[in-house]
Chains A and B, each alone.
Chain A
């Protein structure tokens, strides 16, 4: 007969197995994509699908030749980083003032900002498209940088606000009594204290910019097109380059995936606006 302890143990092992099963199921598409990227095109299309095969690096070698990968990767990097920096420059002062000089209107302002996120991008697609066209910004990195900054601004303000709320006010007041100016107070006291929070905010902004696919697909064609657009271009049925598509996708996703794994704990707090600590 099983003792209570044994049955508890068995139960916990079974639940552990179930957890592994679910995790593998959810992760499978990514795993499969990475495996496919090391196959030859013929192996990639084999039926039934091959789990064991001779790995090859030829896809990775040919990516640059077929699609000028570096051009798109550079666009993604330049756009994401510029938009993130610009966004933080605008958001930090706003978050500072809302976190430390709260007025009756602060909460309304915060909620209003978030509500601008609910504006569906298609609602303003035509004007933005025509404005970009009229100003010659269509298919330029600058257009995407401006738009990503604006699109992510509400979430970035919220996140920075959440982190600033946790900074003890006494420290800032002490700095002020020591005669620190507003700028010194922010640069020398506040930013060093909250650099962890700012880093994870920047990271989230980078992830959102890197993966954004509505504006990049509609406002860029070749010159400024980032990786999302390069990958979407493989959706056309012209060729069955699945192994190469997988290789491009793996390269495009790997940096963000690794970033995400490293920083998951900090991301949670920011993403939940402080609801989860």
Chain B
């Protein structure tokens, strides 16, 4: 009798404990992450904001008077600003289009065809994603694009044409090719896996109803891929907005500003010309642009990400 009551009491205690825990271990556990990220955002951003309002050049220490919005107007009227914005937009959009369209096509191709060595093909297709950006850029610069000993130069000569100095004559296009080479495999990797989970019976039924491969692709496969495509766009945009190493190791933003994106322009302002004030103003402008992109993306895709199946 007594043991029974004791057991009951124990059970009640446990239930209470369980109930208490299920009501809130939450913020105590989440808070380190949130706090760190908040600090990571607020402290440097606050400092950037402050620096952007004063004169601050590392070459002239001590002259830090308040200058209002002068840095912003300097940055916005800098001869590199418009090319920088334009190149950033062109770079991001081109690589996004190449990787989404290419990724869907390659994934569909692999799904439609039957051949020996599928595993090896898969591995080869996704490999560039794992290569360091600095390595990828230098391999393209020295071994592929090089006007004397590059592969493309040899190819051009084989057809009797004059080899082209790609990075000097088509700097932005060359960088787009390098960056797309790194990110297309990411899209292929995701879409290839996603396409395999498509409902085969549905496809078979459509085929029996007389739908051609084009119609099946357009009406069944593409909608099936919409969520993975959203993920590809989201992740790639995050990384593409701040492409840096590829430019740093190949063209240094040149010739002129031909391949300078916003990230490189600000780096140049800060660590090459030591103008912290102006670089900070530029940094804030980059943050605003990234936020606009983020709001658009989250509106478009956020629902896709958090709603489970």
A213-228 near B? 1/0 per residue, CB < 8 Å: 1100110000000011
Task: Evaluate whether A47 and B242 lie within 8 angstroms (CB atoms) in the complex, with A116-B41, A122-B262 already known.
Answer: no
Q: Which residues on A sit within 8 Å (CB–CB) of B148?
A: 45, 47
Q: Which residues on A sit within 8 Å (CB–CB) of B109?
A: 15, 18-19, 22
Q: Which residues on A sit within 8 Å (CB–CB) of B266?
A: 122-123, 125
Contact partner, A16, options B29, B116, B238, B250, Cβ 8 Å: B116
Say yes or no for B133: interface residue by CB 8 A criterion: yes
A98 touches B51 (CB 8 A): no
B40 touches A90 (CB 8 A): no
- Residue count of chain B within 8 Å CB distance of chain A: 114
Say yes or no for A118: interface residue by CB 8 A criterion: yes
A261 touches B32 (CB 8 A): no
Say yes or no for A33: interface residue by CB 8 A criterion: yes
Contact partner, B134, options A18, A26, A228, A242, Cβ 8 Å: A228
Q: Which residues on A sit within 8 Å (CB–CB) of B153?
A: 47
Q: Which residues on B sit within 8 Å (CB–CB) of A228?
A: 132-134, 245
B134 touches A125 (CB 8 A): no
Say yes or no for A267: interface residue by CB 8 A criterion: yes
Chain B min CB distance to A166 (Å)? 10
Task: Evaluate whether A117 and B238 lie within 8 angstroms (CB atoms) in the complex, with A32-B139, A125-B270 already known.
Answer: yes
Greatest chain A CB density within 10 A among B33, B131, B137, B197 is at B33
Q: Which of B1-9, B168-176, B276-284 contacts A (4 or more CB under 8 A)?
A: B276-284
A13 touches B115 (CB 8 A): yes
Q: Which residues on B sit within 8 Å (CB–CB) of A127?
A: 43-45, 47-48, 51, 280
Say yes or no for B82: interface residue by CB 8 A criterion: no
- Provide a sorted-by-A list of 24 A–B residue pairs whose CB atoms are within 8 angstroms: A20-B115, A23-B125, A29-B128, A29-B181, A32-B139, A36-B143, A45-B149, A47-B148, A93-B33, A97-B25, A109-B34, A115-B291, A117-B238, A123-B266, A127-B43, A129-B270, A153-B37, A154-B37, A235-B138, A245-B142, A249-B138, A271-B231, A272-B194, A272-B228
Identify the B interface with A (CB < 8 A).
Answer: 14, 17-18, 21-22, 24-30, 32-34, 36-37, 40-41, 43-45, 47-48, 51, 106, 109-110, 112-117, 120-144, 148-151, 153-154, 157-158, 181, 184-186, 189-190, 193-194, 197, 227-228, 230-231, 235, 237-238, 241-242, 244-245, 248-250, 262-263, 266-267, 270-271, 276, 279-280, 282-284, 286-287, 290-291, 293-294, 298, 302, 304-306, 308
Identify the A interface with B (CB < 8 A).
Answer: 12-13, 15-20, 22-24, 26-30, 32-33, 36, 44-49, 90-91, 93-94, 96-98, 101, 103, 107, 109-111, 113-131, 150, 153-154, 157, 165, 173, 176-177, 179, 182, 207, 210-211, 213-214, 217-218, 227-228, 231-232, 234-235, 242, 245-246, 249, 252-253, 256-257, 259-261, 264-265, 267-268, 271-277
